[in-house]
Amino acid sequence: MRRANTLETFLSGKRLLPFAVLLAVLFTLPSLSAGRAFDDLYHQWILTEEVNPSPPGSPELHREALSQTRHHPLDLFRFMDPSLMSTLRELGSVPWWSSQEATARFLRPITALTHLLDYRLWPDSPGLMHAQSIAWYGLLVLLSTLFYRRIGGAGWAPGLAALLFALDDAHGTPAGWLANRNALIAGCFGLLCLLSFERWRRDGSKIAAWLSPLFLALSLFSAELGIATVPFLLSYALFLDRGSVRSRLFSLMPAVGVVIAWRVVWQQIGCGVAGLGLYIDPMSDPVRFLSEAIRRGPILLLGQFGAPPSDLDLLLSSFGNPLLTWIAWPFLALLTLLLLPVIKKDRKARYYAFALLCALVPTCATFPSDRLLLFVGLGGMGLLSRFALWFVEESGQKRLSTGRRRFALAASIFLFFIHGIVAPPLLLVRSGVALGPPRLLDQLRVRTATDPEITTQSLVILNSPSFFSISSLYLERTFSDVPMPRRVRFLGPSVAGLSIFRRDEKTLVVTPEFPYLFWPLDNLYRSRKFPMKEGDRIKLSDMTALVEEVDELDRPTRVAFEFAVPLEDPSLRWLEWVEGNYVPFELPEIGETLTRPLLFPEL
């Protein structure tokens, strides 16, 4: 009892706030050595003024592509644009099957300013850049602790929610990947919006009434994820606000105005996603968004409340494995059965439950990933703390039946194990290797073909676990002294086993075990709204890809690659991926067929 009272005193006391912030900082310190990867390299190009303008053997096409993409620093999150696709496809920074209409442009000027600060103050120190991200995470935890106490009031439950949120391993990627810092910043301004809104509605503060929509705007202009702030405002009006119905509705009008203004600016500038398979704009494609949300939503909730992480879906779905879906629905049924009594009884639990479910909706616009769960977790940890409080009170007064008490006790042990025992060390790991194990990432890089001769050659890569890892080849070599190829050509789809037939001296016919656009990351570059047809020709300067067969979903199942020169011409350098390395590919003779196995047969 003495220990329980001490813990309760600590969770409800003043020392909890600095302790939670300290934990958040300590458990994300491994990110200091994470360096830059993928989108970070693109940001480095945009924001570095004194970049070597002509790396060793830098092809003219490469310089042209970089000059086109080097736009205003505040437009930092503009990745793809129809005006750039022809150049990027010709260079090989996107695969040959990329849609000409591909667009990926996000409006995040507030976040861009923080990256601009990095490259003005410490451009050569990724560690200090990560230190800024850690500082944002510490601020996020500080604000979340204040938020839980404002909503939850006195007692130990808000302190429990704050600790669970601080040590949530789902925050590892936003804290450890520089390009994902936007989620932390949007979360900080979102929490400031919620704190101001609550103070306005409870205390009548006029200053807070003005600050709340201002902070909402800052959250939205930090990341699109900031839209998840709005469900918490709506939920407050529904379940916690004590004003009249008219007053509650009026309280939401400033936020509605901010969202409408933000969306208008967003569209006028040309932001959005189009032509991509992994991203969906709910406004322009509501039917597809709804169908995907039904599948993605439960997987995201499984990642938030249970295990395994929702990121695993990207790998499993690549092989048509619905394992996470099979786990998610029964898990959610049990979770609902567990939480329903406290939701019915406790209006604060209803506030958290409604907010997190509504905040879940916008996260379904792309593939499931725990890095999207910041606002969902904000509501989720609050809900779990209300359940813990309910269970202690009900058990203490012996108001639970034996069956219900045993079920609740078993669930509590499981949830404590996941969030109290497993999550903290996972946060350490995930913040340090936010994008995957360094050894695997190193294997996915093209570390070969670094001799000076490559500058006059096209690098032809037969297969790879993912083109996404090849897409940053030019940027990686831009910031090093490694010579770069004149062009890159990527033939097969990711991961699949291949049959390679030599039709003539200039033509290879590739028949994959699984069709093109089967693997989720390959769909990043082309949406099914732009299907490929039999007979489609994609002409590049030195190669033409002819789609000879497609399946019932209009995915290519056989593609002929005709080069402008014989395949043995010294202007072509051939590689294939074998057991973790890119090695020279021995071309077949005319009329000969070679086979290559699935890259990860154990899956």
Beta bridge partners of 279: 366
Question: Residue 87 above 90 pLDDT?
Answer: no
Q: How far is CA 319 from CA 407, 463, 603, in A?
A: 35, 17, 8
Q: Are residues 244 and 301 in the same domain?
A: yes
pLDDT band at 355 (very low <50, low <70, confident <90, very high): very high
Residue where a domain stops, chosen among 432, 449, 479: 432
What's the CA gap between 371 and 423, in Å, rounded?
14
Hey, how many other C-beta atoms are within 10 angstroms of the C-beta on 23?
18
pLDDT at 169: 95
Task: With both helix axes pointing from N to C terminus, report the angle between 206-220 and 229-239 in degrees, rounded to the nearest 10.
Answer: 140
Claim to verify: residue 31 and residue 138 sit in the same structural domain = yes
Q: Which of 10-24, 461-475, 487-501 has the lowest mean pLDDT?
A: 461-475
Regarding whether 376 and 233 lie in a shared domain, the answer is yes
**One domain, residues 409 and 520:** no
Spell out where 17-84 has E strands: 78-80
352 and 281 housed in the same domain: yes
8 A C-beta contact, residue 110 and residue 537: no
Query: Are 96 and 131 within one domain?
Result: no
Domain-embedded: residue 442: yes
For residues 490 and 92, the answer to whether their CB atoms sit within 8 Å is yes
* Residue 430 host element (H or E): helix 423-432
CA distances from 235 to 107, 238, 379 (A): 26, 5, 11
Report yes or no on 365 lying in a domain: yes
Q: For residue 445, give both structure tokens.
A: 């890089």
> Number of folded domains in the chain?
2
User: For the ranges 60-74, 455-469, 578-592, which has the lowest average pLDDT?
Assistant: 60-74
Q: Rounded to 5 degrees, what angle do the CA atoms 141, 145, 149 make?
A: 165
- Res 172: pLDDT: 95
Residues 513 and 371 in one domain: no
The better pLDDT of the pair 263, 81 is held by 263
User: What residues have CB less than 8 Å from 377, skipping those under 6 apart?
Assistant: 165, 168, 170, 171, 304
- Structural domain including 135 reads 2-36+123-432
Give the residue from 408, 432, 456 where a domain finishes: 432
Q: 441, 37 in Cβ contact below 8 A? A: yes
Q: Is residue 54 part of a domain?
A: yes
State pLDDT tens for residues 141-159.
Answer: 999 999 999 999 889 999 9
**pLDDT at residue 54, rounded to an integer:** 47
- Maximum Cα–Cα distance across the chain: 84
Same domain, 398 and 447: no
Whether residues 571 and 516 share a domain: the answer is yes
Q: Compute CA distances 479 → 41, 47, 50, 331, 472, whole Å.
A: 9, 13, 11, 47, 11
* Model confidence, pTM: 0.92
CA–CA gap between residue 423 and residue 421 (Å, rounded) = 6
Stretch among 374-378, 402-406, 430-434 having the lowest mean pLDDT = 402-406
Both tokens assigned to 532: 């490929």
Query: Confidence band (pLDDT; 50, 70, 90) for 66?
Result: low
3-state secondary structure (DSSP) of residue 481: coil
Q: Are residues 197 and 299 in the same domain?
A: yes
In this predicted model, what pLDDT tens digit does every residue of 563-579 receive, in sequence order? 999 999 999 999 998 88
Residue 603, pLDDT score: 45
Per-residue pLDDT band for 602 (boundaries 50, 70, 90) equals: very low
Query: Lowest mean pLDDT: which of 55-59, 166-170, 528-532?
Result: 55-59
Q: How far apart are CA 183 and CA 372, in angstroms?
A: 8
Residue 507 β-bridge partners = 504, 562
The answer to whether residue 41 sits within a structural domain is no
Question: What's residue 319's pLDDT?
Answer: 62
Q: Is residue 391 part of a domain?
A: yes
Structure tokens at 136: 């944002």
Look up residue 251 and give its amino acid.
S
| Percent over 90 (pLDDT), the chain | 60
Please report which confidence band the pLDDT of residue 118 belongs to, taking 50, 70 and 90 as the band edges: very high
At residue 56, the pLDDT reads 47
Quote the pLDDT of residue 63: 63
Query: CA-to-CA distance for 522 and 277, rounded, in angstroms?
Result: 8
Domain boundary among 401, 432, 463: 432
Please indicate, yes or no, if residue 116 is contained in any of the structural domains: no
Span 503-525, pLDDT tens digits: 999 999 999 998 998 887 888 88
pLDDT for the residue 389: 94
Considering the chain, what is the average pLDDT of its residues? 89
* For residues 103-121, average pLDDT: 94
How far, in Å, CA of 381 to CA of 372, rounded?
15
Question: In 10 A of CB 329, how many CB atoms?
Answer: 13
Token readout for 163 is 């600790």
Within a domain: residue 392? yes
532 in the same domain as 426: no
Instruction: Tell me what percent of the residues of the chain surpass a pLDDT of 70.
Output: 94
Q: How confident is the model at residue 49 (pLDDT cuts 50, 70, 90)?
A: low
Same domain for 157 and 232? yes
Task: For residue range 266-310, list pLDDT tens digits in order.
Answer: 989 888 888 888 888 787 778 888 888 999 999 999 999 998 899
Residues 257 and 464: their CA atoms lie apart, in Å, by 47
Query: Residue 268 and residue 419: Cα distance in Å, rounded?
Result: 43
Residue 372 lies in a domain: yes
Contact yes or no for 87/54 (Cβ under 8 A): no
Residue 88 pLDDT grade (very low, low, confident, very high; cuts 50, 70, 90)? confident
- pLDDT (tens digit per residue) in 462-473: 998 888 778 888
Cα distances from 111 to residues 39, 211, 288, 514, in angstroms, run 14, 19, 29, 39
